[in-house]
Amino acid sequence: MQVLSLGSTERRAIKDSQGFDRMIHSLESVNFLKLDSNNYVLFECAKPEARIISIDQEYIKGDSSTGVDEASFWPLYKVKLHEITLRELMLFQSLYVCKTLSEIIDIVND
């Protein structure tokens, strides 16, 4: 199930096709990533395993021979989103449970 929230509601809980609770966030919820209010947010979701949010700045590229101006976009930065695996979740949980630095080093070395 692919859902995209186009409204301005910050987040909303829904149930997916298998009955699990999911949280969807609106497109406007990532506006804080913009460096300038005129920057554009581009969601590159061609492959589910490679979701990228790109912040682009528009600029005008002119051709002096024809006098035609063309709008182009310059990527300022990109944020790649990964779905976390159960193994990674267990590692993060074990790091937070550790009480000393030596316990964390032992987990990382294993």
Query: 10 in helix, strand or coil?
Result: coil
Residue 53: count of CB within 10 angstroms of its CB: 16
| Cα 51 to Cα 43: distance, rounded to the nearest angstrom | 7
The span from the CA of 35 to the CA of 76, in Å, is 9
Considering the domain architecture, whether residues 16 and 44 belong to the same structural domain is answered as: no
Full residue range of the structural domain in which residue 81 is found = 34-109
Residues 24 and 39 reside in one and the same domain: no
**pTM of the shown model:** 0.51
CA 62, chain centre distance (Å): 32
Q: Which of 27, 44, 37, 28 is nearest to 80 (CA)?
A: 44
Same domain, 38 and 80: yes
pLDDT tens-digit readout, 16-75: 888 888 888 887 778 888 888 889 888 887 666 678 888 999 888 877 777 788 888 999
Give the count of domains, the chain. 2
Residue pLDDT, tens place only, 60-103: 887 777 778 888 899 998 888 777 788 877 877 777 788 888 88
